[in-house]
Amino acid sequence: MLSSPLTRITDPERLAALAETGLLDSAPEEAFDRLTRIVVRALGAGASTLTLLDRGRQFFKSSAGPAMPPIRETPLDYSLCQQTAAEGAALTVADTLQDERTRECLAVTRLGVRAYAGVPLVTADGYTLGTLCALDWSPRAWSHEHMETLVDLAAVAVAEIERRRKGALPERAVPELRATDGLVRVMLQQSLAGIFVVQDQRFRYLNPRLAEIFGREAEWMQDRRVWDVIHPADREDAEGYARGQVYGPPRATHYTLRGVHAGGSTLSLEIFAARAEVEGKPAAVGLVLDVSERVRAEREREEAVAARDRFYAMASHELRTPVSAMMLYNELLLGDAYGPLRPEQHDAVERAQRCAAELLELINDLLDLSKLEAGKMESRIEEVELVALAERAVAAVEVLAAEQECRVVIEAPERPLVVAGDGKRTRQVLLNLLSNAVKYGDGKPVHVRVLREGAGAVVEVSDSGPGIPEGDRSRIFDDFVRLDDAPGQGTGLGLPIARRLAQLLGGSLEVSSVVGEGSTFRLVLPG
Ligand code: ADP
CA within 13 Å, CB half, 284 = 29
Q: 43-68 pLDDT, tens per residue?
A: 999 999 999 999 889 999 999 999 89
55 CA → ligand 1 middle, Å: 67
Give residue 1's pLDDT: 35
Contact in structure between 404 and 350 (CB atoms under 8 Å):
no
520 CA → ligand 1 middle, Å: 12
The answer to whether residues 252 and 313 belong to one domain is no
The answer to whether residues 253 and 339 belong to one domain is no
In short, whether 436's Cβ falls inside 6 Å of ligand 1 is: yes
Residue 128 lies in a domain: yes
Last residue of a domain, one of 352, 371, 390: 371
DSSP codes joined into one string, 187-242: HHHH-SSEEEEEETTEEEEE-HHHHHHTT--HHHHTT-BGGGGB-GGGHHHHHHHH
Residue 16: give its domain's CATH number: 3.30.450.40
The answer to whether residues 273 and 152 belong to one domain is no
Segment 247-265 mean pLDDT:
82
Report d(CA 92, CA 116) in Å as an integer: 6
The answer, as to whether pTM is greater than 0.75, is: no
Give residue 475's pLDDT: 95
518 CA → ligand 1 middle, Å: 12
pLDDT: which is higher, 423 or 306: 423
Per-residue pLDDT band at 181 (split at 50, 70, 90): low
DSSP codes joined into one string, 326-389: HHHHHHHHHTTTTSPPPHHHHHHHHHHHHHHHHHHHHHHHHHHHHHHHTT------EEEEHHHH
Residue 12 lies in a domain: yes
The answer to whether residues 197 and 149 belong to one domain is no
Q: 291-339 pLDDT, tens per residue?
A: 999 999 999 999 988 888 788 778 777 888 889 999 999 999 999 999 9
> Which of 480, 495, 523 has most ligand 1 atoms within 8 Å of CB, for mutation?
495
Residue 36 lies in a domain: yes
Dihedral class, residue 194 (left if φ above 0, else alpha if ψ from -120 to 50, else beta): beta
Single-letter residue type at 451: L
427 CA → ligand 1 middle, Å: 18
Average pLDDT, the chain: 88
CA–CA–CA angle 181, 182, 184 (5° rounding): 80
Residue 185 lies in a domain: no
Atom number, ligand 1, closest to the C-alpha of residue 481: 10
> Which of 442, 462, 475, 476 has most ligand 1 atoms within 8 Å of CB, for mutation?
476
468 CA → ligand 1 middle, Å: 9
The answer to whether residues 13 and 155 belong to one domain is yes
Residue 103 buriedness (CB in 10 A; 0-12 / 13-18 / 19+)? middle
Q: 71-114 pLDDT, tens per residue?
A: 899 999 999 999 998 888 899 999 999 999 999 999 999 999 99
The answer to whether residues 359 and 394 belong to one domain is no
Residue 501 lies in a domain: yes
Residue 174 lies in a domain: no
In short, whether 177's Cβ falls inside 6 Å of ligand 1 is: no
Last residue of a domain, one of 312, 339, 371: 371
What's the number of domains the chain is made of? 4
The answer to whether residues 474 and 401 belong to one domain is yes
Residue 403: give its domain's CATH number: 3.30.565.10
Last residue of a domain, one of 268, 290, 312: 290
Q: 207-246 pLDDT, tens per residue?
A: 999 999 999 999 999 999 888 999 989 888 877 777 666 6
The answer to whether residues 264 and 322 belong to one domain is no
- Kindly report the protein residue whose alpha carbon is nearest to atom 8 of ligand 1: 492
The answer to whether residues 367 and 386 belong to one domain is no
Preceding omega of 416 cis (within 30 degrees of 0): yes
Give residue 276's pLDDT: 79
Identify the domain containing residue 25 by its residue range. Answer: 7-168
The answer to whether residues 341 and 393 belong to one domain is no
% of residues, the chain, pLDDT over 90: 63
CA distance to 190, 243, 258, 407, per residue, from 292 (Å) = 20, 25, 9, 55
Residue 444 lies in a domain: yes
In short, whether 494's Cβ falls inside 6 Å of ligand 1 is: yes
The answer to whether residues 366 and 388 belong to one domain is no
% of residues, the chain, pLDDT over 70: 93
The answer to whether residues 156 and 24 belong to one domain is yes
Report d(CA 427, CA 416) in Å as an integer: 16
Residue 179 lies in a domain: no
Compute φ and ψ for 26, nearest 5 degrees: -85, 165
Buried b (16+ CB within 10 A) or exposed e, 121-143: bbbeeebbbbbbbbbbeeebebe
Residue 231: give its domain's CATH number: 3.30.450.20
Give residue 167's pLDDT: 59
